[in-house]
Amino acid sequence: MQNQGQNNEKRNWLFVLLAGLFITNAITAELISSKIISIPVHWGIWHYNFITIVGVLPWPVVFLLTDTLNEFYGKQAVRRLSWITTVLIAYCFLIVVLAIQIPAVADIGVSDAAFKAVFGQTPWIMLGSITAFLISQLLDVSLFHWIKLKTGNSYIWLRSTGSTVLSQAIDTLVVLYLGFVLPGVMNWSMFWKVAPTNYFLKLGIAVLLTPLIYILHAALRKFLKTSSD
C-alpha cells in the first residue's frame, strides 16, 4: 500500500513537471510567432532560404511532451491540459495588451515603440495562434489514440509521427491564414512559401525526435516502475 502511494505521488509530481514544461513552451511559441525568419540551407551548389515563423523553435518540446503525456496519462488529461493552456495563452495575450497601453518612462529602459514592435501582435495573430493551437492539439490527441487502438502498445513511432502529420498541417494553415493572410499582413504568394516550410520543418523535427521519444518513455517507465508493455 505504501509503495502504491509513493508511485501515485511520483505520477502526480511528474505530471505537474511535464504540464509546466508543456504550458511554458506553448505560450513562448505563441508569443514569438509574429517574427518571420529565413533559414539558409546549402547542399553543394544548391542553396535555398526557407521562410518560416520563429515560433517553431519551442515546438519540438511541445511534440515530445504531447506524446509523452498521451502515453502515460491518457487523452482526457491531455485534452484538459490543452484547454487550460489555451485559456492561459489568451490570458498571456491580455496581459501583453494591457502592458502595451501603459506608458513607459521616457529615456529609461525600453521605449513604448520598441516594446510594441516586439510584443504588439495584432488581434488576428492572437486569434490565429490560439485557434490553431487548440484545434491541432485536440486533433493530435484523437489521432494518437486512434492509431494506438489499431496497433496496440507497439509502434510508438507510428502513433507519435502519424498524429503529427495531420495535426501540424492544420496548425500551420490556420495560424498563417487567420494571423497573417486574413488581416493582409501576408499575401498568398508569401503564404505558399512560408506554409510548406513551416509544416515540413515541424514534421522533420518530429521524425528526428523519434529516438528521444523511446528514450524518454523507457526512462519514465523506470522512474514510475511500470511494465514495459
Query: Residue 3: what pLDDT?
Result: 61
Tens of pLDDT, residue by residue over 129-168, are: 889 888 988 888 888 888 888 887 777 778 888 888 888 8
Tens of pLDDT, residue by residue over 16-49, are: 999 999 999 999 988 887 788 887 777 777 777 7
* Residue position matching grid coordinates 520563429: 54
Q: What is the mean pLDDT of the chain?
A: 84
Query: Residue 86: what pLDDT?
Result: 93
Residue 229 clears pLDDT 50, i.e. is over it: no
Query: Residue 77: what pLDDT?
Result: 92
Residue 15 clears pLDDT 90, i.e. is over it: yes
Beta bridge partners of 40: 49
* Residue position matching grid coordinates 512559401: 193
* Residue position matching grid coordinates 489555451: 86
Tens of pLDDT, residue by residue over 82-93, are: 999 999 999 998
Query: Residue 227: what pLDDT?
Result: 43
Q: How many CB atoms lie within 10 A of CB 160?
A: 26
The three-class DSSP label of residue 120 is coil
Query: Residue 109: what pLDDT?
Result: 84
CA pair distance 223, 15, nearest whole angstrom: 13
**Could you give the domains of the chain?**
2-224 (1.10.1760)
Residues in the chain: 229
**Nearest alpha carbon to residue 175 among 136, 203, 204:** 136
Query: Residue 88: what pLDDT?
Result: 93
Query: Residue 2: what pLDDT?
Result: 54
Collect all residues with Cβ–Cβ distance below 8 Å to 112 and sequence separation of at least 6: 100, 103, 104
Query: Residue 226: what pLDDT?
Result: 56
Query: Residue 130: what pLDDT?
Result: 87
In this structure, what C-alpha cell is assigned to residue 39?
533559414
Report whether 145 contacts 75 (CB < 8 A).
Answer: yes
CA dihedral (33, 125, 100, 20) in degrees, to 10, reads: -50
CA pair distance 103, 155, nearest whole angstrom: 55
Q: What is the mean pLDDT of residues 4-24?
A: 86
